[in-house]
Structure 1
Amino acid sequence: MTDACGHGEALTTATHMRVAVVYHAWPHYREPVMRAMDCSRSIAYDFYGSGEALEGVLHADPHAVSRFVPAPFRRWRNLVWQPGAVRAAMTGRYQALILFADPNFASTWVAAAIARLRGRPVLFWGHGWLKPEGRAKRAMRSAYFALSHRLLVYAERGRRLGVAAGFAPERITVVYNSLDVERADALVAAIEDGSLAACPQALFPDTSHPLLICTARLTAKCRFDLLLQAAARLSAQDRPVNVLLIGDGPERGRLEALAQALGVSAHFLGACHDEAIVGPMIYHADLTVSPGKIGLTAMHSLMYGTPAITHGDFDAQMPEVEAIEAGVTGAFFCRDDADDLAATIAQWLAQAPPRAQVRAAARAAIHAKWTPQVQARIIEQAVLEVAGHA
């Protein structure tokens, strides 16, 4: 019998390690990396998670992987307790644990300590360091991360900040982040061979205006008010644009009212998880503009070949911002400055490299580092190293 990875019966005999990967919840967009990890010939992963949607974000399908262990969690103020993490550490079933790297997860402190006492390798997986921190917070974070034998972080900057904070460089591995790149590749191929048609500009009265897009939950942190203000400034300069926001959230009503008050040509599509709809819209957009933290929106944009603009205050950014190369696959503006955002958009639209060149560079950047397969390979190597099997 052949499994979804094409391994056949040989997978069972080839696998020689069993590892628990404990997250409080696996967002739907993590399903591709779960599947990629599940294809390992060296490690059999058990994925622990709640199986429930979290803060409006759908959970990955538990049936997408061979072994999913339901592990609900509880919140008390800023603290999280997940009994399944402790149970995973106490059982003799696993040769290593990968735990979600958030110091607010009290159960992770306990699980990591138990695993270490039992002689089991512990890996933490998360953002790591996002910015330089004060002495007290730095000491707390260092004590927490010291419970791990290896820290898996999303980006090179996180590793540099960790080393600067005194963490041993050999204990930090950059694993990057990803979305469903294979699905995006298939959709891009369908768009370019003409079998998948889409025209998001048709949502607007004037289809000739450049299309600015963003796919994200509509929250205050995303600062889409800045995008609408920038669009209004561009219109006042006789450089009108269309704005398409894909997503829902608590700020939607306020943003719709602001767009109307400013006279901005904006369309609010709402939440959409159908990549066959969202992907072509991103592909045909002129720019992705994410005025707040960009995060995985950078991946979503670049894997369809669309350049991205976000703010350049990296201490207030997410790790995935590293995928954007200024002047090549996007640009940066001064944080919280609508005038500079408008100027940055205008400059890109007027002076950007040829669209085909930008598309190729953006997609190449994703394929080089930011894919589920790259993540799975690096994670597997890190696990084997700390377990002494490399």
Structure 2
Amino acid sequence: MDKEFNCSFYFGDRVNSDIKKLNYQDLNGFKEELSNVSILNTSFSWQKGAWYKIFKNYKFFLITGEPYYLSNWALIILGKILGKKVIPWAHGIKGDYNKMEWFEKLFFKLCPLVLLYGNHSRNIMINKGFNPDKLICIYNSLNHDKQINLRNSIKPSQIYFEHFNNKNPTIIYIGRIQKSKKLELLAECIHRLNKKGINCNLVFIGKDLKDNNVVKTAKELEIEKHVWFYGPCYEEEKISELIFNANLCVSPGPVGLTALHSLTYGTPVISNDNFNTQMPEYEVIKPKKTGDFYQENNIEDLIIKIIPWLKINNTLRDEVRKDCYKVIDDNWNPKSQIITLKKIFVNAEN
């Protein structure tokens, strides 16, 4: 966006996680960091200084699509009065029960357009009476250009043979090691698969948030020699090698950007089938083509879904790689997102 548009960037000063802040100096358009303030210890917040940016000489405003930031309401309402387009980029409305749905619906109804991460929430919102023409899927992305360069040069390596000293298929998980991902379930799967004689290895790549028992579980199940706790890794060259040489990626809980990362390097993904609590990136999983879904929390079903992916031959594995690449290259990348934004801006001006 910084390269393609003449735009200004304003960021909040904090998020409720350990995500590292962007280096603002990398952006020519960076203007200011705004203070996020909680309102009376509720779920509502206010972003100081955001609302009066509507009076600046901007034609469009892309905002985080968070209804519980009341400063967003101020921007949208003032935008309608002043004839300016204030467009949220949002998860939208999900299908699970939410007593505040009326509040969210009113927020999105006030917007001229809503950019959504995926089709699941778009379909739900259409069923709830939203105009389909005002709901635009813009998806999500990683550093696609760099990853494509690595993908074009990567070759099979012996990284897992050298670590495990066996040629068993390898299952990978990449992302933060945290309770919500239900990774103990994955460790239990490896234990049961190996007992069935379907020997396989398991690799965890990511920072351990210490709110889970996956290390303890692996020890108790005596599968430590089959599990590699690789730890956090931020070198894309090494990440690409680890993912490319794995047979399968599994995220028993919500899958998120893990799915994009894995498919980018041609490795299929399995995650759970509770789409109302999934992250939007689950949509890249196409059953039997780029992965599969198992019945949430059902370890026996997870094992059933894993086994075929560990047994496919090299020819079929190459076809799976191509299917994975295509999903990411078609929509889930920055270039596709920029094309979508350009269409929106041109159509709005016309």
Residue 325 of structure 2 aligns with an amino acid whose one-letter code is R
Kept after mapping to 1: 8 A contact 2:266/2:322? yes
1:282 paired residue number: 243
Question: For 1:373-388, what aligned pairs fall within 5 Å after superposition?
Answer: 373-386=335-348, 388=349
**Cα separation, 2, equivalents of 1:309 and 1:246:** 16
User: Which aligned runs of 4 or more in structure 1 are off by greater than 3 angstroms?
Assistant: 50-54
Question: For 1:83-162, what aligned pairs fall within 5 Å after superposition?
Answer: 83-89=48-54, 91-131=55-95, 133=97, 136-162=99-125
Higher deviation after alignment, 114-123 or 143-152: 114-123
Measured at CA, do residues 240 and 252 of structure 1 come closer, stay the same or move farther in structure 2, by a change above 3 Å?
farther
Residue 236 of structure 1 aligns with an amino acid whose one-letter code is K
**Cα separation, 1, equivalents of 2:62 and 2:324:** 31
**Cα separation, 1, equivalents of 2:290 and 2:197:** 25
1:240 and 2:240 are equivalent in the alignment: no
2:151 paired residue number: 188
Residue 71 of structure 1: which of 33, 37, 61 is its match?
A: 33
Cα root mean square deviation, aligned = 2.0
1:346 paired residue number: 307
Q: Write the deviation string for residues 219-278 of structure 1: whole angstroms up to 9, x where unpaired.
A: 111111111111111111111221111111323762111111112221112222211111
Question: For 1:230-379, what aligned pairs fall within 5 Å after superposition?
Answer: 230-251=189-210, 254-264=213-223, 265-351=226-312, 354-379=316-341
The number of equivalent residue pairs is 344
2:182 paired residue number: 223
Kept after mapping to 1: 8 A contact 2:14/2:36? no
2:142 paired residue number: 179
TM-score, normalization by structure 1: 0.83
- Stretches of structure 1 that go unaligned for 5 or more consecutive residues are 1-36
**Cα separation, 1, equivalents of 2:34 and 2:203:** 36
1:199 paired residue number: 159
Residue 232 of structure 2 aligns with an amino acid whose one-letter code is A
3-state SS in 2 of match to 1:63: helix
CA drift of 1:376 comes to 1.3
Higher deviation after alignment, 268-277 or 124-133: 124-133
CA drift of 1:129 comes to 2.3
**Cα separation, 2, equivalents of 1:324 and 1:88:** 39
CA drift of 1:292 comes to 0.6
Residue 288 of structure 1 aligns with an amino acid whose one-letter code is C
CA drift of 1:198 comes to 6.6
Kept after mapping to 1: 8 A contact 2:12/2:36? no
Kept after mapping to 1: 8 A contact 2:77/2:110? yes
CA drift of 1:72 comes to 3.1
Kept after mapping to 2: 8 A contact 1:198/1:281? no
CA drift of 1:203 comes to 2.8
CA drift of 1:54 comes to 5.8
Kept after mapping to 2: 8 A contact 1:74/1:80? yes
3-state SS in 2 of match to 1:354: helix
3-state SS in 2 of match to 1:315: coil
3-state SS in 2 of match to 1:94: coil
Residue 297 of structure 1 aligns with an amino acid whose one-letter code is T
**Cα separation, 1, equivalents of 2:159 and 2:328:** 24
Measured at CA, do residues 203 and 126 of structure 1 come closer, stay the same or move farther in structure 2, by a change above 3 Å?
farther
Residue 341 of structure 1 aligns with an amino acid whose one-letter code is L
Measured at CA, do residues 272 and 381 of structure 1 come closer, stay the same or move farther in structure 2, by a change above 3 Å?
same
Residue 203 of structure 1 aligns with an amino acid whose one-letter code is H
Residue 66 of structure 2 aligns with an amino acid whose one-letter code is D
**Cα separation, 2, equivalents of 1:210 and 1:278:** 18
1:163 and 2:126 are equivalent in the alignment: yes
Higher deviation after alignment, 237-246 or 59-68: 59-68
Residue 164 of structure 1 aligns with an amino acid whose one-letter code is N
**Cα separation, 2, equivalents of 1:307 and 1:175:** 22
CA drift of 1:81 comes to 2.0
**Cα separation, 1, equivalents of 2:161 and 2:6:** 46
**Cα separation, 1, equivalents of 2:334 and 2:281:** 14
3-state SS in 2 of match to 1:362: helix
- Stretches of structure 2 that go unaligned for 5 or more consecutive residues are none
CA drift of 1:53 comes to 7.4
Q: Write the deviation string for residues 195-231 of structure 1: whole angstroms up to 9, x where unpaired.
A: xx67144332x33121111111111111111111111
3-state SS in 2 of match to 1:71: strand
CA drift of 1:61 comes to 2.5
Kept after mapping to 1: 8 A contact 2:2/2:28? yes
